[in-house]
Amino acid sequence: MRKIFIIEDNIEIAKELKEQLEMWGYSAEKVADFKKVMEEFTAYNPDLILMDIKLPHLNGFIWCEKIREVSSVPIIFLTSASDNINLITAINHGGDDFLAKPFEIQVLIAKIKALLRRTYDFESGNSLLEHKDVVLDTDNMTIKYGNNVEALTKNEFLILEVLMENINKVISRDKIMDKLWNTDSFIDDNTLTVNVARLRKKLEKIGVNDLISTKKGMGYIIE
């Protein structure tokens, strides 16, 4: 049974989410102390997080960053603000998806199912992909170069995986977005651009520069 951690300060919404998720066959827990989100996250060890943005003590973006320091668990942001600024900010802070309130529970469940499937049920023929001493570990979603290792979010991992599986081939933006989001909402250029930019920064952090090239009007390539 997949475990979902609810980080939502509206008591009624959090209660309703927990009840609905359990009706759909998930195990769900609500955060109890908003000053101890990391402690509760570590203790529960969830498979997915539902994260509100406006929270007491620290906002959802900051908690997302803290979680990303130790985990690649998928995170869906829930917020009443549905503009592109919050969408891009959510993704830039490590979120995997975004859903604006109010929403139908069926829409949320569809997103949860898709994200869990992409995160835990994908298959790969080889646990390691290597190119020019850059090693992508598909088992734990890390990138290694020399002695430097960096954890990737699910979206960053999927982008790098499809590019490293197709060395010297230009992969269109549409194909990458289809791999990342399939039938989910928010399939747009801004979302992909933010993810690629964040991936490039992580590669630079471990000493890998210019691995991913942009082919204007076509897509991305690793040569």
Per-residue model confidence as pLDDT tens digits over 97-140 = 888 888 888 889 988 988 888 777 654 445 788 888 899 987 77
Question: Would you place residue 184 in the very low, low, confident or very high pLDDT band (cuts 50, 70, 90)?
Answer: very low
pLDDT of 88: 74
Q: Which of 48, 27, 49, 31 is nearest to 40 (CA)?
A: 31
DSSP state of 143: E
Q: Spell out the domains of the chain, with CATH numbers in brackets.
A: 3-120 (3.40.50.2300), 128-221 (1.10.10.10)
192 pLDDT band, cuts 50/70/90, is: confident
* Residue with the larger pLDDT of the pair 36 and 82: 36
Average pLDDT over the chain reads: 85
pLDDT band at residue 91 using 50, 70 and 90 as cut-offs: confident
Closest CA to 119 of 89, 90, 156: 156
CB 220 within 8 A of CB 213: yes
pLDDT band at 46 (very low <50, low <70, confident <90, very high): very high
Output the six-digit token pair for 137: 């570990």
Look at 15-19, 126-130, 215-219 and tell me which has the smallest mean pLDDT: 126-130
Give residue 155's pLDDT: 83
**Closest by alpha carbon to 4, among 42, 62, 45?**
45
Which of 142, 191, 149, 153 has the alpha carbon at shortest distance from 67?
Answer: 153
Asked if residues 141 and 120 have their Cβ atoms less than 8 Å apart, the reply is no
The CA dihedral of 112, 5, 186, 124, to the nearest 10 degrees, is: -60
pLDDT of 154 above 60: yes
Query: Do 205 and 199 form a contact (C-beta atoms < 8 A)?
Result: no
Coil, helix or strand at residue 70: coil
CA distances from 110 to 12, 73, 125, 154, 172 (A): 22, 18, 27, 18, 26
Q: Give me the residues paired with residue 4 across strands.
A: 28, 48
CA separation for the pair 191, 219 (Å, rounded)? 14
Q: Both tokens of residue 119?
A: 């995160």
Enclosing H/E stretch for 222: none
Distance CA 167, CA 169 (A): 5
Between 150 and 92, the more confident residue is 150
